[in-house]
C-alpha cells in the first residue's frame, strides 16, 4: 500500500512499571487504509502500547507521530479529537445505564438521544449485530457489552480504529460481515490496528503484522505469507505444541446428565431456558456453541448451582441429584465451574491469587483444618497453579486484578483443572488468551478428560470446539439442539444453527434444508 506519510508512527517507545518492562524501544508504523495486526503473548506489551496510543498512559520515552506531525496524546479525549477510536477487551461501561446512555457518554459532541439512537441502529444494521439501545447494560452478556464498545468507537468516524478481540462473540457468518465492513472502512482510508489471538483471522484480514515478545518487536511480516502456526511460533519464540487428543479414547458411562432443564427468564432481558437435555459420559468433552446472549450465562449459572433447578434430578452427577444444591455443595460432590466473566465472577480482582485459590479449592484440596485455613497448603497449591500454567505474576500474594486478562484466565483454569473434578463446566476457556497459552489450556482439558472427567465447554470459538470436543450442541434463544458428533456437520451448518435454526430442527436433514434455504 503506497503512501507518503504514515497515519501513525511510533519511534523507540519505552514504558516500564515496577518490576516490569512493558515496552522496550518499540517501533511501529501504520499507514492510511492499512489493516495492521498487533500480535503477542499475554503480557507481551500489546495492551500497554495501545493504551499509550489512546492516551491512557504516557510513554517514558520515545516519539509518536500522527499524519507526520509529532504529537503527545495526553488523554483519551485528545486521542478521539485526533480521530483515534478504541474498542477495549475489558469494557468501560456503567451497568445501571442503558446502552444508548453509555454510548452518549463516550461521545465528545452534543446530540439528542433520539438522533443518536438512529445513528446507533444504522451502525448495528451495517454490522449485522443484534443489540437493543434501550437495554440496561447490567442485563447484557459479555459479548453484548463488547458490541456496545464497537458501536461507540465507530460513531466517532475514526481515522484509526483500534480493535481488541472484536470477533469473540460472532458466528462465522457475522465474522465475515465484520471483515467486509472493516475492509470498506480501510478502503475509505481508515487505518485499523487489530489485536486478536485468532491467528487465522489475521491471515484472512490483515495487510501487515507486528509481533511483540517480552515488550520488544521481534518481527514484522505479511500475514498472507505466513501461517497461523508460524506466527504463533514467532510470538512464543518456540515450537507450538499441538494438542494430543488420542485416537482411541474409551468413553465410560454417563457421568453428568441434564433432563428437561427449564427456567423462566430473570428480568425483562434475560433468556429463558426451555427443555435443555444433554448427557456427558466419563472422558467425554461436550461443546455448546452459540452467539452471546442466547442463554449461555443462564445455563452456566444453572449448571454451577448459582440458580437452582426445579427438582433435584434435573441435574445429576453420577446419578446423584444436584438440582436443588448450591455451588459449595456441588463442588463438594466434584463439580467444578469456570464462568465467562473473569473479573468479579470467576475471580475477585481485589483478592490475592492465594485467596482466589482458597475460594473454590479449599475443600477439595484439603486446605481447611478445624475450620481454619492452612496457609501453607493454600500457598503451595497457588504456587502449583502458577508453575503448571506459566502464570506471569509476582507470586501467590499478587492481586488478581494486577494480572493481564490472559494470565488471569490461565490461573482460573488451572485452579479448577488441578482439583481433578469429576465434572468441569467452562464458559469461554481461552477468551483473550494467546496461542501458546490456549494450546496449554486445551491440552490440560484433554488430559483431564483422559482421566475420566466429564467436560462441558461453552464457547463462541468454533475452531476451539471442533479441536477439543467429541460431541457438540448449539444453544439459540435458550433452546439446545440435539447433540451430534464432531465431524458430522460443517462449520457453516453450525453457524446457521447458532443464527436461528432451533433445537427441534437439529437433525442432519433439517440442517441441510436450512443450508439450502440460505
Residue-by-residue DSSP string for 501-515: --GGG-SHHHHHHHH
Query: Are 37 and 235 a contacting pair, CB within 8 Å?
Result: no
The pLDDT assigned to 431 comes to 80
Are both 338 and 277 inside the same structural domain?
yes
The pLDDT assigned to 142 comes to 63
In a domain, 411, yes or no: yes
Phi and psi, residue 226, nearest 5°? -120, 175
Are both 432 and 472 inside the same structural domain?
yes
- Mean of per-residue pLDDT scores for the chain: 89
Residue matched to cell numbers 468413553: 251
Are both 196 and 277 inside the same structural domain?
no
Are both 220 and 284 inside the same structural domain?
no
Residue-by-residue DSSP string for 451-465: TT-EEEEEES-HHHH
According to DSSP, residue 4 is labeled: S
Are both 160 and 276 inside the same structural domain?
no
In a domain, 359, yes or no: no
Q: Which three cell numbers stand for residue 207?
A: 495487510
In a domain, 358, yes or no: no
Cα(456)–Cα(445) distance, integer angstroms: 10
Tens digits of residue pLDDT in 365-410: 999 999 999 999 999 999 999 999 999 899 999 999 998 878 899 9
Are both 336 and 474 inside the same structural domain?
yes
Cα(467)–Cα(287) distance, integer angstroms: 10
| Among 236, 251, 282, residue at a domain's last position | 236
Residue matched to cell numbers 460431541: 471
What is the distance between the terminal CA atoms of the chain, rounded to a whole angstrom?
36
Cα(296)–Cα(293) distance, integer angstroms: 7
Are both 74 and 203 inside the same structural domain?
yes
| Pairing state between β 335-338 and 320-321 | unpaired
How many residues can be counted in the chain?
Answer: 518
In a domain, 114, yes or no: yes
Boundaries of domain holding 453: 267-346+398-517
Residue-by-residue DSSP string for 310-342: SSGGGEEETTEE-TT--HHHHHHTTEEEE-S-T
In a domain, 199, yes or no: yes
Are both 283 and 222 inside the same structural domain?
no
In a domain, 288, yes or no: yes
Going from the C-alpha of 10 to that of each of 63, 143, 209, the distances in angstroms are: 6, 31, 15
Cα(286)–Cα(264) distance, integer angstroms: 24
CATH number at residue 430: 3.40.50.300
The pLDDT assigned to 506 comes to 39
Q: Which secondary-structure segment (H or E) carries 280? A: strand 273-281
Give the strands of the sheet with 273-281, arranged side by side: 273-281, 254-263, 315-317, 320-321
Q: Which three cell numbers stand for residue 280?
A: 456427558
* Residue ranges in the chain modelled with pLDDT below 50: 1-3, 502-518
In a domain, 355, yes or no: no
Q: Which of 393, 432, 389, 392 is nearest to 412 (CA)?
A: 389
**Which pTM value belongs to this model?**
0.72
Are both 89 and 219 inside the same structural domain?
yes
Are both 103 and 228 inside the same structural domain?
yes
Q: Which three cell numbers stand for residue 439?
A: 494450546
In a domain, 368, yes or no: no
Q: Which of 21, 88, 20 is nearest to 53 (CA)?
A: 88
User: How many domains are there within the chain?
Assistant: 2
Cα(305)–Cα(513) distance, integer angstroms: 38
Q: Which of 319, 293, 323, 290 is nearest to 306 (CA)?
A: 323
Where b means 16+ CB within 10 Å and e means fewer, 164-200 reads bbbbbbbbbbbbeebbeebeebbeeebbbbbbbbbbe
Phi and psi, residue 213, nearest 5°? -145, 120
The pLDDT assigned to 518 comes to 34
Are both 197 and 297 inside the same structural domain?
no
Q: Within 13 Å of residue 439, how many CA atoms lie on the same side as its CB?
A: 16
Three state DSSP letters for 177-218? HHHHHHHHHHHCCCEEEEECCCHHHHHHHCCEEEEEECCEEE
According to DSSP, residue 260 is labeled: E
The pLDDT assigned to 42 comes to 78
Cα(257)–Cα(488) distance, integer angstroms: 22
Are both 276 and 229 inside the same structural domain?
no
Going from the C-alpha of 503 to that of each of 302, 364, 383, 477, the distances in angstroms are: 19, 37, 44, 10
Amino acid at each position: 500500500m503506497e503512501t507518503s506519510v504514515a497515519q501513525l508512527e511510533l519511534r523507540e517507545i519505552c514504558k516500564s512499571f515496577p518490576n516490569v518492562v512493558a515496552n522496550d524501544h518499540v517501533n511501529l508504523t501504520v499507514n492510511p487504509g492499512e489493516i495492521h495486526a498487533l500480535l503477542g503473548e499475554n503480557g507481551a506489551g500489546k495492551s500497554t502500547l495501545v493504551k499509550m496510543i489512546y492516551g491512557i498512559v504516557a510513554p517514558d520515552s520515545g516519539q509518536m507521530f500522527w499524519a507526520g506531525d509529532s504529537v503527545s496524546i495526553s488523554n483519551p479525549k485528545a486521542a478521539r479529537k485526533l480521530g483515534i477510536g478504541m474498542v477495549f477487551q475489558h469494557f468501560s461501561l456503567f451497568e445501571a445505564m442503558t446502552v444508548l446512555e453509555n454510548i452518549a457518554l463516550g461521545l465528545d459532541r452534543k446530540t439528542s438521544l433520539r438522533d443518536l439512537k438512529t445513528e446507533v441502529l444504522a451502525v448495528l444494521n451495517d454490522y449485522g449485530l443484534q443489540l437493543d439501545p434501550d437495554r440496561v447494560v447490567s442485563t447484557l452478556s459479555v459479548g453484548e457489552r463488547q458490541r456496545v464498545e464497537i458501536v461507540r468507537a465507530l460513531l466517532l468516524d475514526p481515522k484509526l480504529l483500534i480493535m481488541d478481540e472484536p470477533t469473540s462473540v460472532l458466528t462465522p457468518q457475522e465474522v465475515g460481515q465484520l471483515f467486509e465492513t472493516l475492509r470498506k472502512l480501510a478502503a475509505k482510508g481508515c487505518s485499523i490496528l487489530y489485536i486478536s489471538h485468532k491467528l487465522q483471522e489475521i491471515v484472512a484480514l490483515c495487510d501487515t503484522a507486528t509481533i511483540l515478545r517480552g515488550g520488544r518487536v521481534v518481527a514484522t511480516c505479511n500475514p498472507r505469507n505466513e501461517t497461523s502456526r508460524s506466527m504463533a511460533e514467532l510470538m512464543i519464540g518456540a515450537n507450538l505444541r499441538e494438542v494430543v487428543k488420542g485416537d482411541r479414547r474409551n468413553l465410560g458411562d454417563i457421568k453428568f446428565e441434564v433432563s428437561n432443564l427449564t427456567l423462566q427468564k430473570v428480568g425483562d432481558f434475560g433468556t429463558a431456558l426451555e427443555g435443555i437435555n444433554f448427557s456427558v459420559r466419563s472422558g467425554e468433552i461436550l461443546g455448546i456453541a452459540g452467539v452471546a446472549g442466547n442463554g449461555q450465562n443462564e445455563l452456566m449459572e444453572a449448571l454451577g448451582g448459582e440458580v437452582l433447578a426445579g427438582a433435584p434430578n434435573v441435574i445429576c452427577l453420577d446419578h446423584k441429584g444436584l438440582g436443588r444444591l448450591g455451588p459449595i455443595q456441588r463442588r463438594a460432590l466434584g463439580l467444578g465451574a469456570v464462568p465467562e466473566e473473569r473479573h468479579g465472577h470467576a475471580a475477585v480482582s481485589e483478592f490475592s491469587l492465594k485467596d482466589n485459590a482458597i475460594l473454590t479449592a479449599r475443600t477439595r484440596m484439603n486446605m481447611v483444618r478445624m475450620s481454619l485455613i492452612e496457609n501453607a497448603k493454600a500457598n503451595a497449591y497457588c504456587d502449583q497453579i502458577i508453575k503448571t500454567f506459566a502464570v506471569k505474576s509476582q507470586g501467590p500474594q499478587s492481586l488478581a486484578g494486577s494480572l493481564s486478562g490472559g494470565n488471569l484466565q490461565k490461573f482460573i483454569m488451572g485452579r479448577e483443572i488441578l482439583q481433578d473434578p469429576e465434572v468441569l463446566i467452562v464458559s469461554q476457556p481461552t477468551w483473550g488468551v494467546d496461542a501458546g497459552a490456549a494450546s496449554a489450556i486445551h491440552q490440560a482439558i484433554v488430559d483431564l478428560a483422559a482421566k475420566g472427567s466429564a467436560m462441558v465447554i461453552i464457547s463462541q470459538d468454533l475452531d476451539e470446539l471442533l479441536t477439543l470436543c467429541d460431541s457438540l450442541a448449539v444453544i439459540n434463544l435458550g433452546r439446545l439442539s440435539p447433540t451430534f458428533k464432531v465431524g458430522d456437520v460443517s462449520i457453516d451448518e453450525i453457524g446457521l444453527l447458532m443464527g436461528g435454526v432451533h433445537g427441534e430442527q437439529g437433525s442432519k436433514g433439517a440442517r441441510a434444508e436450512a443450508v439450502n434455504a440460505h
